[in-house]
Structure 1
Amino acid sequence: MYHSRITTAPPLRRGNLLPVRALVTAWSLLTLIALLAWALTVGQARDMGIEPGTMGMGVPLFLLLWLAMMIAMMLPSVAPVAITWARGISRQSTGVVRAVRMAGFTGGYLLIWTAFGLFAYAGLAATGHIVDDHPDAGRWIGATAFLLAGLQQLGPLKNICLRHCRSPMSQLMRYAQFRHWARDLRVGAHHGLYCVGCCWGLMLVFIPLGVMNIPAMAGLAAVIFAEKLWRLGPVFSTAIGVVFLAFAVLAPFQDWLLPGLQNAGSPMGP
């Protein structure tokens, strides 16, 4: 007699559903934080407008605003890594422990970007002073910023850091062997360093476009998200580099590419 064997999938249990539920909760929380940061940044930008340099902000205020910008722009792309880390190292832990670990990772990541904000402040302050004294210099500052951004997009450092940001699992597994109270913070900071190495060229274009330029900020956030999470991210990254090189050629002749280097009421000369 012929007997057929039918295999069935194991029944769903509460233990199988918890990781999915935790994943949805983590995504929702990080999305909410990013949306709040966008709301804060957009509200502040409406009051400040787009001007050269730091727009009169001191270092503490600038860093606070810079942190809000980084949360808005970077959190969507780093969320998968933060969630993977929190779930991977604490499968048997409670949701609270996972949340604390994810917060530590995110805090270390944002700490690196806040430190980078000091360099951003120095660059904006320097270019702002130059444009105040020599308005026509803004054209060449903008062209240089786009040129450096384009070269960085096409350079080897970009490829190395983008490869890590797209596939960080080997590094996360190495750090999972560490036992230290600040391990989560260290892992987040390490990933943040790779992210800065990957994206510092993109941040350079805030000099010609303006640090409080919300459309530019949204566009750069979309570029970063696509580079890190899209299947064709590396190809897209190369295309963005070519676009920046084209902008570098056009910048000395096209004022619309340089809103962040023009004083209100003082357009650049021909």
Structure 2
Amino acid sequence: MEAVPGTGPFRPQSSGGQTLVLGWTWAALLVAATLAWVLTVGQSWRMGVELGTMGLALPVFLVMWVPMMAAMMFPALAPVVILWGRSINRVETGTRRVVRQGSFVVGYIVVWTVYGLVAFGLLLGAERLVGQSPGAARWIGAGAYLAAGLYQLTPLKRVCLRHCRSPLGQFLRFGSLRGPGVDFRVGLLHGGYCVGCCWALMLILVGVGVMNLVAMVALTVLIFLEKVWRHGNALAWAASAVFVVLAILALFHPGLIPGLIPGLSARVPAADMTPAM
């Protein structure tokens, strides 16, 4: 069973109280995503597309990374948070239900923050390698595209995408549980599946620049459609073919890997860098 917003388990219920709670949840996530995008766009314009970690220390990088992930992931996360709210025991009050949904979101963000540590290490490694051997840039960039493309075809990608598209079965196992930390743990679980689904796509930012606004928007749209569109599985396969082609082209066209070419894009606003995604 695949869950699509507006149908099946994602359809809002008609009860007045729960509909009001769901409305507030949608509004809160919309505001959070909007603020995250405003902050991310501002950071992108200030910093431009630069090599690796852009000279940021790990704490500062994470301060940048978390809003960026919220901006990119919240559009696809919103229906899942609503679904979790509907899976929670119906005796919960509206306020309590909102608090529990918030705990779920926090758990989800924690997983992507941990992945930010991995991303920082990869970016730092790429930065140092390119500094020592500039010719390695095209191979690193091509490798990032190729890894993203090939991972789209793996069984692990399919398993994680299947959960992200239809998490109801998992949620029903936890919806009636009580006690501290239940929602946070379920958020961690869903965040783990989400990272399993999208981690390779984030590798593309190593090549195009972690603050490349065009790349962020393109990946956000791809991630959203993969998870909620009824043809999401076919889209994942089509994206795989595109990324493999870009991996080959990146060996010959530095413009496809501006985040790895020192001087090519330094201090240039990220929105002006338009790699073919």
Question: What TM-score, normalized to structure 1?
Answer: 0.90
Q: Is the 1:109–1:189 Cα contact (8 Å) retained in structure 2?
A: yes
CA deviation after TM superposition for structure 1 residue 132, in Å = 1.7
Aligned to 2:178: 179
Q: Is the 1:87–1:98 Cα contact (8 Å) retained in structure 2?
A: no
CA deviation after TM superposition for structure 1 residue 232, in Å = 0.4
Higher mean Cα deviation, 127-136 or 183-192? 127-136
Q: Which amino acid aligns with 1:141?
A: I
How well do the aligned residues superpose, as a CA RMSD in angstroms? 1.5
Q: Which amino acid aligns with 1:247?
A: L
Q: Is the 1:41–1:68 Cα contact (8 Å) retained in structure 2?
A: yes
Match of 1:66, SS state, is helix
Q: Which runs of 5+ in 1 are unaligned?
A: 1-14
Aligned to 2:195: 196
Q: Which runs of 5+ in 2 are unaligned?
A: 1-13, 267-277
Aligned to 2:211: 212
Q: Is the 2:52–2:127 Cα contact (8 Å) retained in structure 1?
A: yes
Higher mean Cα deviation, 184-193 or 253-262? 253-262
1 CA distance for matches of 2:127 and 2:250?
17
Aligned to 1:122: 121
Aligned to 1:6: none
Aligned to 2:25: 26
Instruction: Give the number of aligned pairs.
Output: 253
Match of 2:262, SS state, is coil
Evaluate the alpha carbon distance shift between residue 176 and residue 19 of structure 1 in structure 2; reply closer, same or farther with a 3 A threshold.
closer
Aligned to 1:71: 70
Provide Cα deviations, 1:91-141, integer angstroms capped at 9, x if missing partner: 333221111011100000000000000000000000011112222210000
1:160 aligns with 2:162: no
Q: Which amino acid aligns with 1:77?
A: A
2 CA distance for matches of 1:181 and 1:93?
14
Q: Is the 1:143–1:247 Cα contact (8 Å) retained in structure 2?
A: yes
What is the 5 A alignment of 1:1-270?
A: 16-264=15-263
Match of 2:15, SS state, is helix
Highest Rg: 1 or 2? 1
Q: Is the 2:89–2:176 Cα contact (8 Å) retained in structure 1?
A: no
